[in-house]
Amino acid sequence: MKLSRREILKAAAASSAMMAIGGPFGVIKDAAAANEPDEWVKSVCRFCGTGCGVMVGIKDGKCVTVKGDPNNHNAGFLCLKGALMPPIVYSKDRVTRPYIRQKGKLVPASWDEAMSLVEKKFKEAVAEGGPSAIGYYGSGQALTEETYLASKIFKAGLGSNNVEGNPRLCMASAVGGYVTTFGKDEPCGSYSDIDAATCMMIIGSNMSECHPVLFKRVAARKQADPNVKIIVIDPRKTNTARIADEHVSFKPGTDLAILNSMAWVIINEEFDNQRFHSKYVTFMTNEKEKVDFDAYMKFLEDYTPEKVETMSGVPAAQIKTIAKMFAEASATTSFWCMGLNQRIRGVWANNLVSNLHLLTGHIGKTGATPFSLTGQPNACGGVRDTGGLCHLLPAGRLIKKEAHRNAVEKQWGIPLGTINPKPGLHTIALWNAFSEAKVKAMFVLCTNPAHSLPNVNIYTEGMKRTDNFMVLSEPFMDAETVKYCDVLLPSAFWCEKRGTYGCSERRYSLLKKSTEPLGECKSDFEILMDFAKRMGVDPKVVPYKDVDDVWDEWRQVSAATPYNFSGITRERMEKESGILWPCPTEDHPGTKIRYVRGEDPNIPDDYPKKYHFYGKPDGRAVIWFRPYKGAAEEPNEEYPIVLTTGRVIDHWHTGTMTMKVPELRRSFPVAYVEVNIEDAKAKGIQNGDDVLLETKRDKMVLKARVSDVCRPGLVFVPWYDANLMINKLTLNAIDKGSKQPEFKICAVKISKV
Amino acid sequence: MNRTNLKISKGKLVGFALFSVLLMSVVSLSQAKGIKHLKATDSAADCYECHKYVTPRVAQNWLESKHGVQLMKCFVCHGQPDGKGSIPFSVKPDPVAVCAKCHDPAMQRMKEKFGTEKGCYECHPFHQNSLHHDAYKKSASKKE
Amino acid sequence: MKRSLLRIVGRTTFAAAVLGLVVFWGASQVMAGDRPVVEECMRCHDVKSYEYEISHSSHAKDKDGKAITCDQCHDPHFNPVTSYYARDEYFDKKIFQPEDFDRMSMQKNVQKSVPAKKCQVCHVDLSKDVKGKKISEIGQLCHDAFEGKNGSTRKNCAGCHGNIAHLPDFDRDLTKNAVFVKKLGDNPMVKEQKGGS
């Protein structure tokens, strides 16, 4: 047989084609097709204070997938936690029915049985000790309507101002900072400022792990314009520092000195904006004495770069560099979070950042703003704005001021004098009182205090007492606080209920209900309404048939204040993807910049000055002379190392949600201690070794991760692990102004086991 | 000199072709079988910690890419190779199921512009859009 | 008549070739015997920059402090398996000008040509390093895969542990090589290399 070349080639081609069909790397289309949703329902991510819009993919009534909301500020992007939310909803650890504790064990009960017991215990507590013997501890993760309702029930319905929430542990210092500097809470800029900033200072924040989608926006800004300068001030060299032009590592606690030193450099290099601060700033000493700019310069003489180098370990040259970077840029935005807030000088630290912006005039312009990052998805909208703290009333009003109380009473249509004039107990005081059974009944909602309170052993001991009573509304059976509650109520979770979240940038967005609650779960709105009814709260105080009624009332209550978001109607929230307050009318687009004429609707168009810090009687913001003062528990000879705690990107807070996602759980299944390479060498500690950590309060063994992330003299432990709760070792000292605990610094000693 | 014709019988040729196909299938199948991912323990399941040694170039590309800087970790797109994850494992994730979670707006725009259902990978070097200090260049897929 | 002559010629040539190979191999073994290995290799293979790299690597010396020589990893000359992997370089005759190598395209083949049993001369127990210290949990998982106890791999030792002796410039940005890069420093011998960039 004669074979031509052509035929041979054909045969070869045929056989190689057959080979190409196989191969292990085929694209898996089947799984995707099987899970294609029937509809997409608009919502907001359950996690951090970035507040990404999320579209929940529903198939056959179940949440099967998520994607980012293209119309919200995140433009469709999510972080790894947000992208993996669906399995959490259907976790086998979901609490699906009420429980009552009998003889130490939680026994299933009916709603009526459980709520009757709650009613009985709360009424007994009030009979015995008055309204101050009961308390409510809520959350920056509860919906706005839920917190507004709870606060109103207790303050207006039951006469108790013991209404607190976990934002006291995270944002109170930021509130204190903004209120003392500007007279009003909440940032004056928005996320849009990132896209225009030419310098961004990130201090006390591991933004890449704690606000990932915002960090993405910062990194994208730098990629778009490499001349944008990023300054990261953190004693840890975190992933955030990867994009930094200057990473400033300092002795923990000395950041106050560094910020004052930056101000010294700015003034001495003539970078301050004289025109701005002479017109719009009041200079006040720490003793609340009004002084002048010369007094400020004199105050700062204690903070020359050379002096601060000695106390902080930061080279004087670097302080000068970052101060110049900050001041010389055309638009500088600062971001900060728990590194500054969770300190006994938290309010002061917040003031000092705002000082730099007021000194340089980097405020009220697109790209220039002091932006406090909020940790939780609804600490702003839910707790801060609705006044869900022991000293607050809705829209920034204060319980201690009679005029404020009366204004709120009028708006609520209740008799003047209903609200107790004495502010309630703040979180640490409240839990101290509960631990001593002075507060006898606590309603805990959507938070996990047996894991998240500092120096937590005191409080879990207190929870074990039989002469106090705790009812807990919680979606997950494995939350630490479940071990101590007397009644456990099954809470509807995230996409199973409707309501509002208000994120860091003053954006109020609607979470639509997209699935039915599991088992016997009820929304916290329903639970609280039932509680109010049973407690005999005047129905006029709680005239709501659903959350939309609550929203409508709150919207109208805000109209009398600079929060005025009466233009954010439910209809608009359904159509749009979040609106920034103030928003006084239905056709108002929302406010990106506050305190500036033409941007802030609270300022009339004919106001004579461009800036009006209307929170202060004279319209001027305040530069406070805040001195450097160390931490409550500085390292000493016996405990020579600083212990700091924080988060990792894969886990949210106490891990009750993220540990349900296998990918996230396996990424960080257990807690560890991050040790500096030099410290490890000195102690003979190698990667993976067991290390004993001891503070004055407790001790714990953790596996070491040796790296150059922490600076020498510092160790870091993440707090997501319920089996290795680092809060047993932390300190519950608080900021005198904000009452926020100092989670970030305590003294520890480490040794190889 | 005469050109020599190949003196091979048809039968022998067919036999040879079938044999080579069989051989190549066996080789490729056995290669496919050889790629059996190890079962990670729960305490050592971080893909990057192994893959920075096993597949260093891919790992480095990821680390320096936008996904790496923003900590969009491996498992978000690829799942878990031992099948214990909440999303299915794939070496080449399906764009509709995976990429669209974050990139849906861009994918919609591409669809409108080019009317195509091309896979993302045909243009976007997803592991290689570098943010590494002085390499702030646009990826190959973005033309000026 | 013609056919049988052809057969004799063919078979003689074949025998001569085999004999020649054996003699050459034997001679190269004998001749190498009385000179330091590295110097001997470098008579033909001008590998000064490669020598610089390894002398700054973790494999410059073994656990007893003795210098590690080329032949402890590389299989010199006429091992049919390793020669197969080096075939491209044989055909291009570049083996005598290694500075011109396209190290990037060669890397995979070179790694395949370093047999696992040569590593195992020192690294006997894969659960410990040469100094007897237990390896990390992740390392143990990888070695279990290598031994087929937990999953499997297609790679030999050098396939995963590349860059332990030589470090071409295109691998100097990998995080796993940070320490090695630091040791190499700024020597002009390794600063700019021809081929694969």
Which residues in B lie closer than 8 A to residue C155 (C-beta atoms)? Answer: 54
Per-residue burial over A540-562, b = 16 or more CB atoms within 10 Å of its CB, e = otherwise: ebbebeebbbbbebbbebbebbb
What angle is formed at CA A169 by the lines to CA A401 and CA A615, rounded to 5 degrees? 35
Q: Do B66 and A219 touch (CB under 8 A)?
A: yes
- pLDDT computed for residue B143 by the predictor: 34
Q: What is the pLDDT of residues A335-378, one digit of tens each?
A: 999 999 999 999 999 999 999 999 999 999 999 999 999 999 99
A126 and A236 assigned to the same domain: no
Give the E-state strand segments of A83-165 in sequence order: 99-102, 105-108, 134-138, 163-165
What angle is formed at CA A344 by the lines to CA A340 and CA A349, rounded to 5 degrees? 35
Strand, helix or coil for residue A281: strand
Strand, helix or coil for residue A334: strand
CB A316 within 8 A of CB A309: yes
**Minimal CA separation from B95 to chain A, in Å:** 9
**CATH code of the domain in which A666 resides:** 2.40.40.20
- Distance separating alpha carbons of residues A169 and A342, to the nearest angstrom: 7
**CATH code of the domain in which A474 resides:** 3.40.50.740
The DSSP line for C125-183 is -TTB-TTSPBPPHHHHHHHHHHTTSSS--S--HHHHSTTSS---GGGTTSGGGHHHHHH
Query: Quick one: closest CA in B to A55, which residue?
Result: B101
CB A443 within 8 A of CB A135: yes
Q: Catalytic site residues of A?
A: 81, 170-171, 338, 375-376
A188 and A311 assigned to the same domain: yes
**What is the crossing angle of helices A524-534 and A111-129, to 10°?**
50
- pLDDT computed for residue C76 by the predictor: 63
CB A67 within 8 A of CB B102: yes
Question: Of C137, C144, C160, which has the smallest distance from its Cβ to B54's Cβ?
Answer: C160
HEC string of A26-38 equals CCCCHHHHHCCCC
For residue A125, give both structure tokens.
């507590």
Q: What is the pLDDT of residues A637-691, one digit of tens each?
A: 999 999 999 999 999 999 999 999 999 999 999 999 999 999 999 999 999 999 9
- pLDDT computed for residue B140 by the predictor: 41
**What is the crossing angle of helices A255-268 and A346-360, to 10°?**
20
Among the listed residues C84, C90, C89, the one whose alpha carbon sits nearest the alpha carbon of residue C113: C84
Q: For chain B, give every domain's residue range.
A: 1-36, 39-138
B58 touches chain C (CB under 8 A): no
What angle is formed at CA A711 by the lines to CA A707 and CA A715, rounded to 5 degrees? 75
For residue A230, give both structure tokens.
């990023």
- pLDDT computed for residue B141 by the predictor: 38
Q: Do C137 and B41 touch (CB under 8 A)?
A: yes
**CATH code of the domain in which A261 resides:** 3.40.228.10
**Chains contacting A with at least 3 CB pairs below 8 Å?**
B, C
Interface test with C, best of B35, B54, B65, B82 (most C CBs within 10 A): B54
- pLDDT computed for residue C98 by the predictor: 66
Residue with tokens 């080579």: B20
More reliable by pLDDT, A181 or B80: A181
**Minimal CA separation from C157 to chain B, in Å:** 10
Taking any CB pair shorter than 8 Å as contact, residues of chain C touching chain B are 137-138, 141-142, 144-145, 150-155, 160-163, 171, 173-176
Residues in Cβ contact with A309 at an 8 Å cutoff, skipping those fewer than 6 apart: A315, A316, A319
Residue A593 included in any domain? no
Task: Look up the pTM and report it.
Answer: 0.89
Complex ipTM, two decimals? 0.89
Burial (CB count within 10 angstroms: exposed 0-12, middle 13-18, buried 19+), residue A409: middle
A669 touches chain C (CB under 8 A): no
- pLDDT computed for residue B10 by the predictor: 74
Q: Do B90 and A27 touch (CB under 8 A)?
A: yes
Q: Do C137 and A688 touch (CB under 8 A)?
A: yes
What is the mean pLDDT of the segment spanning A48-65? 97
Q: Which of A387-391, A515-519, A746-750, C174-178 has the lowest mean pLDDT?
A: C174-178
For residue A308, give both structure tokens.
């601060």
Q: Do A687 and C136 touch (CB under 8 A)?
A: yes
**CATH code of the domain in which A56 resides:** 2.20.25.90
Cα separations in angstroms, A170 against A116, A204, A647, C6: 34, 13, 13, 94
Q: What is the pLDDT of residues B113-132, one digit of tens each?
A: 887 666 777 766 666 554 43
For residue B141, give both structure tokens.
């897929």
Among the listed residues A199, A196, A213, A506, the one whose alpha carbon sits nearest the alpha carbon of residue A372: A506
- Distance separating alpha carbons of residues A545 and A131, to the nearest angstrom: 26
Q: Which of A92-106, A164-178, B2-16 has the lowest mean pLDDT?
A: B2-16
Give the E-state strand segments of A373-459 in sequence order: 392-393, 397-398, 441-445
Q: What is the pLDDT of residues A389-446, one digit of tens each?
A: 999 999 999 999 999 999 999 999 999 999 999 999 999 999 999 999 999 999 999 9
- Domain region containing A728: 641-752
What angle is formed at CA A286 by the lines to CA A739 and CA A645, rounded to 5 degrees? 40
More reliable by pLDDT, C72 or A442: A442
- Distance separating alpha carbons of residues A592 and A201, to the nearest angstrom: 20
The DSSP line for B74-99 is HHHHH--TTS-SSS---SS--IIIII
**Minimal CA separation from B117 to chain A, in Å:** 13
Confidence of residue B34 (pLDDT cuts 50, 70, 90): low
Q: What is the pLDDT of residues C81-139, one digit of tens each?
A: 666 776 766 666 566 666 677 788 888 888 888 888 899 999 999 999 888 888 988 89
Burial (CB count within 10 angstroms: exposed 0-12, middle 13-18, buried 19+), residue A651: buried
pLDDT at B142 over 70: no
For residue A693, give both structure tokens.
């950590």
Among the listed residues A447, A426, A427, the one whose alpha carbon sits nearest the alpha carbon of residue A378: A447
Query: Quick one: closest CA in B to A211, which residue?
Result: B70
Neighbour count for residue A421 (Cβ, 10 Å): 11
Residue A446 included in any domain? yes
**Chains contacting B with at least 3 CB pairs below 8 Å?**
A, C
A555 and A518 assigned to the same domain: yes
What is the mean pLDDT of the segment spanning A17-42? 56
A571 and A711 assigned to the same domain: no
- pLDDT computed for residue A20 by the predictor: 41
Q: What is the pLDDT of residues A5-22, one digit of tens each?
A: 555 555 544 554 444 443
pLDDT at C154 over 90: no
What value does the mean pLDDT of chain B take?
A: 74
Q: Which residue type is seen at B37?
A: H
A176 and A148 assigned to the same domain: no
Q: Which of A119-128, A251-260, A475-484, C175-184 has the lowest mean pLDDT?
A: C175-184
A211 and A335 assigned to the same domain: yes
pLDDT at A599 over 50: yes
| pLDDT more than 90, % of chain B | 12
Return the H-helix or E-strand segment holding A501: strand A499-502
pLDDT at B139 over 90: no
For residue B65, give both structure tokens.
């890419």
Per-residue burial over A314-340, b = 16 or more CB atoms within 10 Å of its CB, e = otherwise: bebebbbbbbbbbbebebbbbbbbbbb
Q: Do B43 and A19 touch (CB under 8 A)?
A: no
Confidence of residue C1 (pLDDT cuts 50, 70, 90): low
Q: Which of A57-61, A85-89, A389-393, B90-94 has the lowest mean pLDDT?
A: B90-94
Pairing of strands A199-203, A229-233: parallel
| Eight-state DSSP code of residue A156 | I
Residue A381 included in any domain? no
Q: What is the pLDDT of residues A97-145, one digit of tens each?
A: 999 999 999 999 999 999 999 999 999 999 999 999 999 999 999 999 9
Domain count, chain A: 4
Question: Of A27, A68, A80, which has the smallest distance from its Cβ to B72's Cβ?
Answer: A80
Which of residues A536, A553, A580 is at a domain's end?
A580
Residue A342 included in any domain? yes
A343 and A424 assigned to the same domain: no
pLDDT at A2 over 70: no
Alpha helices in B3-144 (DSSP H): 10-34, 47-54, 56-64, 66-69, 74-78, 100-114
- pLDDT computed for residue B27 by the predictor: 52
Residue A94 included in any domain? no
Strand, helix or coil for residue A347: helix
Residue A713 included in any domain? yes
Q: Do B54 and C155 touch (CB under 8 A)?
A: yes
What is the mean pLDDT of the segment spanning C13-33? 71
Neighbour count for residue B44 (Cβ, 10 Å): 18
Residue A387 included in any domain? no
Which residues in B lie closer than 8 A to residue A209 (C-beta atoms)? Answer: 71
